[in-house]
Amino acid sequence: TEQTLVLVKPDGVARGLTGAILARIEAKGYSLVDIKLVEPDREVLEKHYAEHAGKPFYEPLVEFMMSGPSVAIRLAGNRVIEGFRSLAGTTDPTTAAPGTIRGDLGRDWGLPVQQNLVHGSDSAESAARELGIWFG
């Protein structure tokens, strides 16, 4: 069965939405294999977001991800990579579909980085790489 890395990002934890987000994941039927509170340093985030290095939102993104704790989750289930991304909704929370985590719980706060509550790996290759970074 497939696995993916999910992060409840610092905005989700700070707003007290960890439980609501976990409830949606559990209600969908995916299995929590491992879960922990994390406070990543720059080195971890530079690995995690290597594909975005050099983009205008890269530095604000790294700073945002160091602004407070996140929750890292190893999630399992058939087609969980695709399924969690569908549950999360599209990147921009303003236009993410209602019914999704980002669409129901997120908005634009006028900041240089989209604070969109969660991260989910986007492919099997990304999932293997990111699970290695966050869970070793």
Task: Say whether 57 counts as a known binding-site residue.
Answer: yes
Judged by CB, which is closer to ligand ATP: 39, or 108? 108
Quote the strand ranges of 21-134, DSSP E: 31-38, 70-76, 118-120
Does residue 91 interact with ligand ATP by CB under 6 A? yes
Our finding on whether 48 is near ligand ATP (CB under 6 A) is: no
- Binding window for ligand ATP (CB under 6 A); candidates: 11-19, 23-31, 66-74, 115-123: 115-123
The active-site residue, picked from 119, 130, 131, 134, is 119
Can you say how many angstroms the Cα of residue 83 is from the centroid of all Cα atoms in its chain? 13
Using DSSP's 3-state secondary structure scheme, residue 120 falls into strand
* Beta strand pairing call for 3-8 and 118-120: antiparallel
Q: Which residue has the tokens 């993410």?
A: 96
Shortest reach from residue 41's CB to ligand ATP, in Å:
18
Reduce the DSSP state of residue 31 to 3 states and report it.
strand
- 76-100 b/e (C-beta count within 10 Å ≥ 16 → b): ebeebbebbbebbbeeebeebeeeb
The distance of closest approach from Cβ of residue 37 to ligand ATP in the complex, given in angstroms and rounded to an integer, is 19
Q: Between 18 and 62, whose beta carbon lies closer to ligand ATP? A: 62
Residues near ligand ATP, by CB under 6 A: 57, 61, 90-91, 113-114, 116, 119, 122
Task: Write out the binding residues for ATP.
Answer: 9, 57, 85, 91, 102, 116
Binding residues: 9, 57, 85, 91, 102, 116
